[in-house]
Every structure is written in C-alpha cells, then in structure tokens.
Amino acid sequence: MGIDTVIVVDWSARSAPSPARPTKDAIFVAEYTGRESHVTYCRTRDAATDHLTARLEAALAEGRQVLAGFDFPFAYPAGFADALTQQADSFAVWAWMDHAITDDAKNANNRLDVADQINACFDAPGPFWSHPTGRTPTHVPFRKPPHAGFPFAERRQVEMVATGASTCFQLYGNGAVASQTLLGLPRLHALRQHFGKALAVRPFEDRAAPILLAEVYPSILSAEIKQRQRPGEIPDAAQVRVLAQAFAALPPDRLDAMLREGDPIEGWIAGLGHADELIAALG
C-alpha cells in the first residue's frame, strides 16, 4: 500500500508567538490527501504539535498511511550522538534534547542555554556558534570558530551534497538551522513516544508503519516552488504545499525508495538528488 496523505512542516525557532496574521518565518503545515491540499498556519510550536498529533490520529483512525516531513535535520554528524549520550544512536539524542530543552506554550525556550551546556562538554570552542547581540553565553562563540578537536565532522554527508544546506551547529544568522533542530527534535521525540510502533522514522528505521517521519528540504525544488507560488501566497506556505504535492504524486515504489535512502546514523533529506523526478510528478 502507498502513502495516502503527505504532510510537510516548515518549522520555526521563534521565541514568542508568531503574529495572528500569517507571516513568513513562522510554522506552516501543508497536508495533501488525494487531490485536496490544505495549509495551516501555527503561531506556536505547541499549537503545531497539537495540530500534527490530531491529524496523525485522524489518519490512523481512518486507516490512512501518512508521510510527515519536517524541514530541519533529524540527526547530527556521526560521532556526535556518542559524544553527547555515550550511545551511537540518533534517537538517544532526541531523548536527551527532550530532557534538556524547555519550550513553553508561548515559545519561550532555553535553546541557547542548552547549546552552551553542550559546548561546555568539549575542550575546543564550539561546536555550536552564533548568538544574538546582547546575549553572552559562556561557551557559545559569536563568530564561527575553526571546527577542530571534535570526534565528529562539522557537516553530515547530506549537507555536503545538498546545495545551500547549513551546518546544524549555526544557531543564528541567514540560513541557520541549529535552533530549529534543538527545538524540533524534542517534538519528534514526543510524537515517537505518543504513537509507538505505529510510527517509524526514515531512514533510521526500515520497518513498516502507518506513520512515517522524514527530513525534507524544500530548497531542492526552490525554482519550481517560485513558479507555482500563488498571488499573495507567503513563500513558506507555498514551499510546503508544493513539496507535499510532489511527494504525494510519486508512484508508491519510488516514494518508498527515496525514503529509504541515506545513512541510518546521520539521516538524509528525502528526495535529494531527485528534483527532476519530483517536478515531473507535479505535472
């Protein structure tokens, strides 16, 4: 059986609720079922998590199989998990982050403190870097230090392949994704705990499950998304809508194959290297 529903999430690391009126750099959740597409704007991570949980529960109750893609790294470079948790297991990092991160109903969070705590574990400066002006964390340098002296690389293999992909250690600045990751992994951990064996994470787990989670990167279709953006549509909303439609339009065997690509330690971006195939599926 193939995927019946595709959900794509554009995540955010905002430290306060997004404005009531939809705006860029916030959380947008696209859901594509059959020929119907719907995009939901979420002002907080709590609201997004509640929405996603409800939609996944509804799919389970209706016997639908779902792919849910999130636009932040699911793992760090090989060696990071072992250095942080003494387990070579990315899910151990998810659990560690879930314990360390506080992220309340209004988006107030301690991500910078957690990055500072992790950096304090190493003799070299980093690996996390950059912070807002006015904040002076003890162990997080403002500018990028040389990545040296760590038992892991600066980038995952997938970030060496994906054009424009940022390192998962840059916390602030253009293209930075480290803050989204710190605040996203605990949410993935919560979904995994909530749904149990009904949920599997690709490519870390290859077992069958009605709910599949995967890392996505809308920029692999950036030109196509711009062409398909509707008048007045916020770019963030357009990218999750178009990417969800592209994955949903793939033949089931091709989508399954793409979700299984990549490393079970570092993870992978679903669809990377298959932009032409995704665009062709859109028609």
**Whole-prediction pTM:** 0.97
How does pLDDT run across 196-216, given as a tens digit for each residue?
A: 999 999 999 999 999 999 999
Gap between the Cα atoms of 62 and 53, Å rounded: 14
Model pLDDT, residue 145: 96
Angle, CA 239 vertex, CA 237 and CA 245 arms, to 5°: 105
Q: What is the overall mean pLDDT for the chain?
A: 96
Q: What pLDDT does residue 1 have?
A: 57
pLDDT single digits (tens) 74-96: 999 999 999 999 999 999 999 99
DSSP secondary structure string for all residues of 171-231: -SSTT--HHHHHHHHHHHHHHHHHHGGGEEETTT--S--SEEEEE--GGGGHHHHHHHPPT
Judge whether residue 134 has pLDDT over 90: no
- Quote the CA–CA distance of 159 and 162 in Å, as a whole number: 5
Token output for 239: 């990218």
Question: What is the distance between the alpha carbons of residues 220 and 73, in angstroms, rounded to a whole number?
Answer: 15
pLDDT tens digits for range 23-71: 999 999 999 997 789 999 999 999 999 999 999 999 999 999 999 999 9
Tokens of 150: 């760590």
Name the band, by pLDDT with cuts 50, 70 and 90, for residue 176. very high
User: By the 8 A CB rule, do 187 and 245 touch?
Assistant: no
Q: What is the pLDDT of residue 72?
A: 98
Q: Which tokens belong to 281?
A: 């599926």
CA gap 49, 175 in Å, rounded: 23
Q: Please classify residue 21 by burial: count the beta carbons closer than 10 Å to its beta carbon, then call 0-12 exposed, 13-18 middle and 19+ buried.
A: exposed
Residue with tokens 């989508």: 255
| pLDDT bracket for residue 174 (50, 70, 90) | confident
Angstrom distance (rounded) from CA 237 to CA 39: 7
- CA neighbor of 116 nearest in space, from 129, 104, 107, 103: 129
